[in-house]
Structure 1
Amino acid sequence: METYDALLAAITPESGPTRTILNPATGEAVGEAPVHGVRDLEAAVAEAAAAQPAWAALGHDVRSAALLRAADAVERSAEELATLLSREQGKPLNGPNARFEVGGCAAWLRAAASTPLEPETVVDDGETRAELHYRPIGVVGAIGPWNWPMMITVWQIAPALRMGNAVVVKPSEFTPLSVLALIHVINQELPEGLVSVVSGGRDVGARLAEHPAIGKVMFTGSTATGKAIIKSSADTVKRLTLELGGNDAGIVLPDADPTAIAEGLFWGAFINTGQTCAALKRLYVHEDIYDDVCAELTAVAAAMPMGEGLDENNVLGPLQNKQQFDIVSRLVEAARESGARILIGGNPDAEQPGYFYPTTLVADIDNNNPLVTEEQFGPALPIIRYSSIDEAVAQANALDVGLGASVWSGNLAEARNVAARLQAGTVWINKHGVVDPRIPFGGAKQSGYGLEFGVEGLKALGVPQVING
């Protein structure tokens, strides 16, 4: 186990161009990140391609054992990793935040290692025998976001490694240190060159998407960037898993208990200060309980402390960057100017350092308001009143994205009936955004395609091969 200072020193380049990474809560320097270019990417891809065949030849059991050791390594350095993540990304140590994310990294490494994947006999009738196997792809490119930089990187690399692939990781320019540190720790248990990080800009990402030696790209981020990756990957017919933008709807049915569901609604919307692709971003509440839900949610929101991440008392942090702060500010102001009612929040302190936007609930808002139709990706939740279930379902399905959705009710059968009508990759009941390494996860419509997690996630990192005979 390394100290925090030793971990930071290990990922600080000794030479070459660097960029100072600032804490979004304080503006203070966190560390120096390398600025890699296309030449660095080419070297990393070549090294990965050289290391991959031997790794594939080890077989599932040996690769899984290495992933389990990597999970142990993450846990040994958990506090140091969480501290760096908090300083760079902004999320607090406590609550469903930095320590939670690092713990998720270990959990997903173990899940990828432990999920069984046996050859499937598809026909065996005495005359024909056909088996379906999954072979390594080769080199996988993993392009990650800034909101959950460590955990989503593990979501990408763990199944790729388990299936016998090598991986080249391209982190967000906003949070490269967290990913560099995570891979540094994991690589203590992996062969040299198998997993590398290229901390560069858009030119690196574009080259990764088109590189002929990359057999698959996994990407989590905006729909616009996902479309660019699809175009860049076309000439080499790459396999893709894309987890793109979402604007998740939640529907509260009239029989729901406002007090019982308030905290679940809050964390569904405000986990990671709202900076989560599958967070609850627009809430439809039946008119019979609308005022009660608004009141209960406001009470929960008022009790949740926001501030600098290393303060053990805080559970909400800043927005990670000014660009996102400006988006949230613009959308809330548009809602205010339209006549919507601000229940809490909506007035950031201009004197406070960092990109803090207060927890904001907006009621009596029109369904066509930009705060409803655009993904805010921050701590502002619009609450829309509805009168009939058909109306709520139509409004929830009206957008061109469909990552997740949720239904809140005391009647499980009715909730499932409504859930089946929603156009989303996952529909939760009486919760929102809860992911599980055993359960497949992916989007509908322009929220992307391909599945992650569980057996289906492993299969997505392999090439299906049928042995017929």
Structure 2
Amino acid sequence: MTSEISTLERYQLFIDGHAVDSVSGATFDSLNPYTGMPWARVSDGTPDDIDLAVAAARRAFDGGWRQMPGWRRAAVLRAVGDGIAKNSERLARLEVNDNGKLLREMRAQLEALPEYYYYFAGLADKIEGRTVPQINPSRYFGFTVREPVGVVGAITPWNSPLLLLTFKLAPLLAAGNTCVVKPSEHSPASTLAFAQVLSEAGLPDGVFNAVSGWNRATGEALASHPGIDKIAFTGSTATGIKVAQAAMNNVNKATLELGGKSAQVVFEDADIDAAVNGIMSGVFAATGQTCMAGSRLIVQDAVHDTVIERLARRAADIRLGDPNDPETEMGPLANPPQFEKVTGYFSIAEEEGASFACGGAPAEDLGSYFVKPTVITNLKRDSRLIREEVFGPVLSVLSFSTEEEAVELANDTRYGLAGAVWTENVHRAHRVAGQIRAGSVWINDYRVVGPGMPFGGFKDSGVGRENGVDAIDEYLETKSIYVELTGQTRDPFQMG
């Protein structure tokens, strides 16, 4: 073993309140996408470890967390938020090491995360049922109660591990559930480190468990586990379908936040400078590796050339480099498979006869997994670059002439996660936003999220909602209770 390997940081599984090695003792190395070298050694969990984690979560659920008064769960959630604030710099740097995102972006993301736990702390003691009028009110009183679903299996992606875990964890804890998390094999470190933050905040042992694993069988074991009551998944649509099928085999609930090919519609009366800024943010921030990326530009003919010229000039000037450098504007792609996928789409574009306004190649002078910010024009509406999620810094462009055509193009996709409308006409803004079939639509902005606004997709972009009051409902069951009021329930087989 080399001296470099011997200095790798070490991360273990977290089960029943303790950091532990996997049952097998096996490990795998996590790759820093900027250096192209391993930086951490991680316990390689197996289905046996999933069994242990699910059992711990079940004990914690039955042992008191579900019965804990909402105000006490709220106090723990507030402490979690405080713990994140205290540890935000360390957690942000772990995510940079694992997925290559900019440190300044991860700092901002981690600094915002406490607000999600504070928000759901405010809901934890407000989970209420209702009384229901009965057909025979002199005989029966009826009411409902809301109860936690149980043990939740959460499967999270590599692009924003703690943010997308928080979308699940904050509401499920507020509702009284326990969980087992399987982070992506490409970026497990921040989740495993976060487990200690949760423990120090006073979360009881077994309420949160995390099992990393390189082999796909680990995630499959969680999705299909008979001891799980619900699955919460963020990732690709293809994988999400398999996760949902595994959950359904156990008649389990599933919340799925899946892929997107989100449209940014720019009308000729838009503030072009603002629109260009929003488009840049929508597709080039986070190296384009975000489910809500506004990667499909639909721009009106009259301003098409102006918008493309400005975008190409701006994109070509984006500063690529070390994600820890505050001057860097875009880091590398997060892992080798993603690099191969994105660069493969450049060849597809050439085969389809498209044109590159800028980019369209790896940034070879930087090595590792860098690609140039790319704007692709002269595409047909059935092009793979228009239809498929690239998940990289690649913008695909179509043009339109009428409002009706713009709406048709925006909705001509199997996805429906997000979208944007750029126009100074307030009537058109509301009219078009109302017609776009997507879970989130911004008017004259992009990529704005917060704890109080529901997030999720239409069509192949998912099932259910994260964030907002809607999210806590995803982790609750409704029970109906009938009370007989007269004490005169008779034997149904006695006549007269």
Band of TM-score, shorter chain? over 0.9
Picking from 317, 329, 335, the partner of 1:315 is: 329
Superposition map of 1:122-271 within 5 A? 123=132, 130-189=142-201, 190-200=203-213, 201-271=215-285
For residue 186 of structure 1, report the CA deviation from its aligned partner: 1.8
For residue 196 of structure 1, report the CA deviation from its aligned partner: 0.8
Cα pair distance change 1:122/1:249, threshold 3 Å: farther
Q: Show structure 2 runs of 5+ residues with no match.
A: 1-6, 14-19, 484-496
Cα pair distance change 1:415/1:463, threshold 3 Å: same
Superposition map of 1:273-292 within 5 A? 273-292=287-306
1:405-446: CA deviation from partner (whole Å, max 9, x where unpaired): 111111122111111221212222112232121011111111
- Equivalent pair of 1:332/1:380 in contact (CA under 8 Å): no
Distance, in Å, in 2 between the alignment partners of 1:35 and 1:7 is: 15
Distance, in Å, in 2 between the alignment partners of 1:348 and 1:175 is: 23
Distance, in Å, in 2 between the alignment partners of 1:263 and 1:120 is: 45
Superposition map of 1:109-128 within 5 A? 109-115=117-123, 117-121=126-130, 123=132
Distance, in Å, in 2 between the alignment partners of 1:307 and 1:192 is: 41
Q: TM-score, normalising length from structure 1?
A: 0.93
Residue 206 of structure 2 aligns with an amino acid whose one-letter code is: G
Distance, in Å, in 2 between the alignment partners of 1:429 and 1:122 is: 40
Distance, in Å, in 2 between the alignment partners of 1:433 and 1:26 is: 28
Residue 146 of structure 1 aligns with an amino acid whose one-letter code is: W
Residue 92 of structure 1 aligns with an amino acid whose one-letter code is: L
Corresponding residue for residue 31 of structure 1: 40
For residue 8 of structure 1, report the CA deviation from its aligned partner: 4.9
Q: Which has the larger radius of gyration?
A: 2
Q: Does 1:21 align with 2:33?
A: no
Distance, in Å, in 2 between the alignment partners of 1:374 and 1:180 is: 32
Residue 196 of structure 1 aligns to a residue whose secondary structure is strand
For residue 468 of structure 1, report the CA deviation from its aligned partner: 4.6
Cα pair distance change 1:465/1:359, threshold 3 Å: same
Residue 242 of structure 1 aligns to a residue whose secondary structure is strand
Cα pair distance change 1:232/1:10, threshold 3 Å: closer
For residue 38 of structure 1, report the CA deviation from its aligned partner: 0.7
Residue 177 of structure 1 aligns with an amino acid whose one-letter code is: A
- Equivalent pair of 1:150/1:178 in contact (CA under 8 Å): yes
- Equivalent pair of 1:251/1:285 in contact (CA under 8 Å): yes
- Equivalent pair of 2:373/2:394 in contact (CA under 8 Å): yes
Q: TM-score, normalising length from structure 2?
A: 0.88
Residue 100 of structure 1 aligns to a residue whose secondary structure is helix
Distance, in Å, in 2 between the alignment partners of 1:427 and 1:260 is: 16
Superposition map of 1:92-111 within 5 A? 92-94=102-104, 97-111=105-119
For residue 7 of structure 1, report the CA deviation from its aligned partner: 12
Picking from 367, 370, 373, the partner of 1:359 is: 373
Distance, in Å, in 1 between the alignment partners of 2:381 and 2:351 is: 15
For residue 386 of structure 1, report the CA deviation from its aligned partner: 1.2
Picking from 34, 45, 50, the partner of 2:54 is: 45
Q: Does 1:452 align with 2:466?
A: yes
Distance, in Å, in 1 between the alignment partners of 2:172 and 2:383 is: 41
Residue 315 of structure 1 aligns to a residue whose secondary structure is coil
Distance, in Å, in 2 between the alignment partners of 1:260 and 1:433 is: 14
Corresponding residue for residue 90 of structure 2: 80
Distance, in Å, in 2 between the alignment partners of 1:367 and 1:41 is: 44
- Equivalent pair of 1:133/1:465 in contact (CA under 8 Å): yes
Distance, in Å, in 2 between the alignment partners of 1:333 and 1:10 is: 38
- Equivalent pair of 2:11/2:41 in contact (CA under 8 Å): no
Distance, in Å, in 2 between the alignment partners of 1:84 and 1:62 is: 30
Cα pair distance change 1:446/1:14, threshold 3 Å: closer
Distance, in Å, in 2 between the alignment partners of 1:333 and 1:396 is: 25
Distance, in Å, in 2 between the alignment partners of 1:114 and 1:271 is: 31
Distance, in Å, in 1 between the alignment partners of 2:235 and 2:150 is: 23
For residue 183 of structure 1, report the CA deviation from its aligned partner: 2.0
For residue 19 of structure 1, report the CA deviation from its aligned partner: 0.7
For residue 120 of structure 1, report the CA deviation from its aligned partner: 4.6
Distance, in Å, in 2 between the alignment partners of 1:349 and 1:433 is: 26
Distance, in Å, in 1 between the alignment partners of 2:218 and 2:127 is: 36
Picking from 67, 80, 90, the partner of 1:57 is: 67
- Equivalent pair of 2:274/2:444 in contact (CA under 8 Å): no
Residue 152 of structure 1 aligns with an amino acid whose one-letter code is: L
Superposition map of 1:307-456 within 5 A? 307-456=321-470
For residue 221 of structure 1, report the CA deviation from its aligned partner: 0.6
Q: Show structure 1 runs of 5+ residues with no match.
A: 1-5
For residue 275 of structure 1, report the CA deviation from its aligned partner: 0.5
For residue 265 of structure 1, report the CA deviation from its aligned partner: 1.5
Distance, in Å, in 2 between the alignment partners of 1:326 and 1:7 is: 26
- Equivalent pair of 1:119/1:131 in contact (CA under 8 Å): no
For residue 144 of structure 1, report the CA deviation from its aligned partner: 0.4
For residue 148 of structure 1, report the CA deviation from its aligned partner: 0.7
- Equivalent pair of 2:153/2:223 in contact (CA under 8 Å): yes
Corresponding residue for residue 3 of structure 1: none
Distance, in Å, in 2 between the alignment partners of 1:22 and 1:304 is: 25
- Equivalent pair of 1:263/1:300 in contact (CA under 8 Å): no
- The number of equivalent residue pairs is 462
Distance, in Å, in 2 between the alignment partners of 1:293 and 1:48 is: 52
- Equivalent pair of 1:18/1:35 in contact (CA under 8 Å): yes
Distance, in Å, in 2 between the alignment partners of 1:458 and 1:93 is: 31
Residue 288 of structure 1 aligns to a residue whose secondary structure is helix
For residue 297 of structure 1, report the CA deviation from its aligned partner: 2.1
- Higher mean C-alpha deviation, range 7-16 or range 250-259: 7-16
Residue 402 of structure 1 aligns to a residue whose secondary structure is coil
Cα pair distance change 1:356/1:7, threshold 3 Å: closer
Residue 173 of structure 1 aligns with an amino acid whose one-letter code is: E
Distance, in Å, in 2 between the alignment partners of 1:296 and 1:422 is: 26
Residue 409 of structure 2 aligns with an amino acid whose one-letter code is: Q
For residue 124 of structure 1, report the CA deviation from its aligned partner: 5.3
